[in-house]
Amino acid sequence: MRDMFTDIRKHGKQPLWIGEDIWAELNAAWGNEEYTRRRDQNQQNRASDVGGLGSSLHTGGSVPHTEHRHHLKETLGREPTPVELHSRTHKRQEDQQWIDERARKAHVSIYLYVFNNFYF
């Protein structure tokens, strides 16, 4: 649905199924300076290139991390560790390979942090 409204905003044509009042409200919101600032900041955040490893990718789709944690908790019968949650949201389900190099490096960092701070 988000992509649909993005397309409508970019094309600037009122679809038949959106009434005049709603169309006026949408255009007012889209023209708002705060909306434009947040849209630009979010676009920049999604395209961030930390450490030359590219933008952040996840395999969870539109499912929030809290929901993945809940499903893991049900499956495991306990709270998942940060390492387990990261693996769930950054590995391909079909082959269990990391989605990208950034995810693999983050996993190593999380693992080392947990290991060093909670086991020694």
d(C-alpha 51, C-alpha 47), whole Å? 13
- 34 with 79, same domain? no
85 lies in some domain: yes
Q: What is the mean pLDDT of each run of 10 residues along the chain (120 residues)?
A: 82 91 93 91 71 59 81 93 85 84 82 76
- 113 with 69, same domain? yes
For residue 25, give its domain range: 2-47
What does the H/E/C string look like for 64-118? Answer: CHHHHHHHHHHHHCCCCCHHHHHHHHHECCCCCCECCHHHHHHHHHHHHHHHHHH
97 lies in some domain: yes
73 lies in some domain: yes
d(C-alpha 53, C-alpha 72), whole Å? 28
60 lies in some domain: no
pLDDT of residue 113: 81
Residues 102/56, Cβ–Cβ less than 8 Å: yes
Q: How many domains does one find in the chain?
A: 2
Q: Cα 106 from chain centroid?
A: 16
9 lies in some domain: yes
pTM of the model: 0.48
